[in-house]
Structures are given as C-alpha cells and as structure tokens.
Amino acid sequence: MSTQRIGHTATLLTNGKVFVIGGYTLDEYGYSLPLNSVELYDPLTGLWTRSANMTIGRLSHTAIRLANGKVLVAGGSGSDGSNALGAISSAELYDPSTGLWTGTGNMTVARQSHTATLLTNGKILVAGGSGYDGYRNSGFLNSAELYDPSTRSWTKTGDMSIGRQNQISVLLTNGKVLVAGGYYFDGYDYGGSINSPELYNPSTGLWTPTGNMSISRQFSTGSLLINGKVLAVGGETDETFTNGGFLSSTELYDPSTGLWTNSSNMNTGRMTHAMCSLANGTMLVTGGVGYDPNVFMMPLNDTELYNPSTGLWSKTDSMKIARALHTATLLT
C-alpha cells in the first residue's frame, strides 16, 4: 500500500478488487492521524492504486458493500473540525463505477467501534459502539439504527439490553442477527468484557437474549460456518489472567438451540486478529497480538486453519510480517 495504516477496513467490490478505507497512521510527532485516503488492490496485477479521498479521516468505522455495489462507510473516530478526535456520525457512499464519494444522511448517534450488518432486506443494521450517550461524551451505546439505501436515510430501531463495543455481529441463515460479547459500560463506571449475546429480529425491530457464551470476550472474531452455526474465536477476557487474558478458546453457537458449545482451542491465544472464510469452508485466522511475559502484547505472524467438519485447528504457513488490527479478504 502507499500508506501504512491500522484500524482500517477492507471491502471486496463486485469487480473483484479490494477496497481499503481509512484507519490511522502516525504523524512526525508520533500522534495518531486519522486517514481519509483509500486504496484499491487489483488481484490481476498485484498492484495498489489510489482512489478519491473521503471527506473526513476516520478509524474504527464500518464499511459494507450494499446490494447495488456501492460501499457505505459509517461513523468511526475522526475530527469534528476543531482537531478533537472522537466518535462521529457522518456516513459516505463510494461508487466504484466513478471512483467518487457522496455524502449520505448522518447516523442518529455518533459512534465508533460499532458493528454493521447487511440484512436480507437490503438495509444495514448498525449496533452499539461508543459515543455520546446523552449523559457523557464516551458512553458505551446500546442503541441501534437502520440505513435504507433506497432513501439514503437512517432510522432508529430497538435498543439492545446492554451497551457494548468491540462485539461480533453475524447474519444468521434465518435472517436474524447475532451480536455477542464485546466490552460493556454500566452507566456509572467502566465495566469489562461480557459473554452475553442478543438476537435482532428485522421483522419486529426488537432484540431478545439468547444463550451466553462460556467466557466473556472482546476483540474476538465471529463468522457463519457452512453448517449454519457461528464460530467465535479468541479475543481478550478479564475473567482470567492466564496468558494475559488472551484467549485461545473458540466456541460454536447453534441457532436451532440458542446454545453455545466449546470447540477446540487454537494453538495460540490472540486478539485483534483477522478471520476469513475460505472457499472450501475452512476458517483462516491470522496474526493479532498474543501473550509474551517480556512484552505482554506480542504482535503475531502465525496463522491457523479451522476445519468445521472435525472442529480442529491446524497451523499453516506464517505471514512474513507480524501484524494486528489488520484485515483479511477472500479474493474471487
């Protein structure tokens, strides 16, 4: 890439290119600098090219491809115009056919470290994160909202039972959305990682509780398997100080029962890793940070494969460079 970046997003476009958006880099004084730059990776040439910049630099945002092929970027941490860095409500649309951005309606709440999920009806569900909660400037949000591409507008939907950020969000085969784990805020003091999940029903706009995970986790990854179950992988917990709280454990959610069961452990505990579903249904986990008694948070270059048929993990080739808060995208 032309710019070093962390905390960015990567979205596969309909033309097969990978669209990398925003994140942050360090300025000459070592301070975080939110990026408004974007880059395109072409698998046919193996080269990166620049495209038009966003109107605002942002990190910890979400980016998702709509049914019409455009990319919706929402929220994140950015500048409000007075050099202050905080949660923002702005959203932008990128059109791959023109390479240009256009503004779209702002979210109802400024938020960062939230999740965005494409629903079967074409709308986007944005949930949680941290932002302005009506009482203080950095509350953990239980609110959720919907983006309608046909009207290019946002509307509020039902609230989750608890505010959370850095959670996982997965669209199930029944059309509901599973949100699980993350970091919570109780309204008075900072809390910790949580094991509670909730289900969003697009038909009613309401959330309902479902079975708890076996352990609290944040900065984990979650993905739908080909058998319809959800795999939650790694992350960090404050329930144990073993290996610095970095989890090697994984667990499976079965929508038919609403229950979680433990699966086999990874070889290495990790958080802020990336996970990608391969064409054969196996899951590839790469990098992240793990425990080292000398440095505590050690960037990792190792990778592992999960086989849904056996429920087992196996090591595969390591990356050339250790990395965390990165992205992994399956090419077409």
Helix/strand/coil for 277: strand
Span 148-171, average pLDDT: 97
Task: Print the domain residue range for 95.
Answer: 1-104
Does 85 fall in a domain? yes
- Is the pLDDT at 46 greater than 80? The verdict is yes
Domain harbouring 257, CATH code? 2.120.10.80
Per the CB < 8 A criterion, the answer to whether 63 and 72 are in contact is yes
Among 104, 132, 157, identify where a domain stops: 104
Tokens of 5: 């970046």
Does 217 fall in a domain? yes
Q: pLDDT for 67-82, tens place per residue? A: 999 999 999 999 765 5
Strands 250-254, 230-233: pairing kind: antiparallel
Does 184 fall in a domain? no
Does 140 fall in a domain? no
Question: What is this structure's pTM?
Answer: 0.94
Residue 242 per-residue DSSP state: G
Span 10-33, average pLDDT: 92
Tokens of 195: 């094991």
Does 241 fall in a domain? yes
- Is the pLDDT at 135 greater than 60? The verdict is no
Q: Which of 308, 162, 286 is nearest to 234 (CA)?
A: 286
Q: Is the dihedral of CA 163, 90, 112, 148 positive or negative?
A: positive
**What is the predicted pLDDT for the residue at 276?**
97
Per the CB < 8 A criterion, the answer to whether 180 and 172 are in contact is no
Domain tally for the chain?
2
Does 325 fall in a domain? yes
Q: pLDDT for 96-106, tens place per residue? A: 999 999 999 99
Confidence of residue 134 (pLDDT cuts 50, 70, 90): low
- Is the pLDDT at 83 greater than 60? The verdict is no
- Is the pLDDT at 244 greater than 90? The verdict is no
Among 62, 81, 104, identify where a domain stops: 104
- Is the pLDDT at 133 greater than 80? The verdict is no
Count of other CB atoms within 10 angstroms of residue 259: 12
Does 311 fall in a domain? yes
Confidence of residue 44 (pLDDT cuts 50, 70, 90): very high
- Say which amino acid occupies 49: T
Strands 197-201, 206-209: pairing kind: antiparallel
Among 104, 125, 157, identify where a domain stops: 104
Does 109 fall in a domain? no
Query: In whole angstroms, how far apart are CA 146 and each of 65, 81, 260?
Result: 15, 26, 28
- Is the pLDDT at 48 greater than 60? The verdict is yes
